[in-house]
Amino acid sequence: MISSVGSYSAAQTGGTSSLKAASATGQVSDTSKNQGASGTQGGGTLTISTLARQLAASASRAEERDKTLTRSELADKAKNLLGQISGDSYQANKKIHDSEVPKTSDPELLARAKQATEFVNRSSNTGNEKNPFSGLSRAQLSDIINDDSSIYTVNERRAAWMESSKQEEAWREKVIAQAIAEYNESGKLTNFFSAVLDHFKELPAIEQAQYPKDYASDLQSKIDLDFNYRTHQAEGKGKDPMSLIEMLFEQSPQQANELPQEPKNATDSPTVRSNP
């Protein structure tokens, strides 16, 4: 199986901040319930949760960032932002990150920041620490991860990154299983390449910028070729389908120097793995 996965996210949507906030309210309902806040509508008045308002603000900043930076600048920005929440830089400042408290008296925000720190540290080692951003969409998680405006603590951004990585790994496991089944049945990976291309097209600009410039066109050429790797003696006959899949995923951007894994049970400790 693939040894590591990157941290991607789905595409962001445009629109005004108020519409984004209203949209976010519905999408964060499960998470908000855990935090004692939710978006509700009664008497013609829309009540928007604190998290939904933050997400709307983050989405607006992301939209403006993507308009003003070039593709290469976005790639550099993403690398810098991920370095803040993972790898050597994060570990070197771990004590500072763990003691970081939001500059607010809002009990909801203070509680969420504390929960995020407990989650990323697994401090009680019971396996019961809940990620405060569990259940958010990939787009929302990306907005949190890449927002360095200080409305989220570093550990909150790291928690969002861990949830995004968890969702990405689940997607990869699913698409790889489908790819192996496709290869075993037909000797092809055409549907697999189509699924990966669709996934790539849904990524926000800051995520796409981390891939090779010709990533999408290369996938499209493979789809158009509809190649049979089993019967083509020069390239595919007897070839392990997993090696072909791994070759493709090796083109994925190096998101960070480590990838967190949630413990499978109470006695497991967090697992850290290197990206390709």
Is residue 36 assigned to a domain? no
For residue 196, the model assigns a pLDDT of: 96
Is pTM, for the whole model, over 0.95? no
Which tens digit of pLDDT belongs to each residue from 31-60? 544 444 444 444 455 456 889 999 999 999
Is residue 195 assigned to a domain? yes
For residue 122, the model assigns a pLDDT of: 82
Is residue 135 assigned to a domain? no
Is residue 220 assigned to a domain? yes
- The residue-averaged pLDDT of 133-161 equals 95
Count of domains for the chain: 1
Range(s) of the domain holding residue 203 = 168-249
Which tens digit of pLDDT belongs to each residue from 73-129? 999 999 999 999 999 999 999 999 999 999 999 999 999 999 999 999 985 555 677
**162 CB contacts (<8 Å, ≥6 apart)?**
119, 120, 131, 260, 262
Is residue 178 assigned to a domain? yes
Is residue 139 assigned to a domain? no
Is residue 244 assigned to a domain? yes
Is residue 47 assigned to a domain? no
**230 CB contacts (<8 Å, ≥6 apart)?**
183, 187, 236, 237, 238, 239
Whole-number average pLDDT of the chain = 76
Which tens digit of pLDDT belongs to each residue from 226-250? 888 877 633 333 445 566 566 666 6
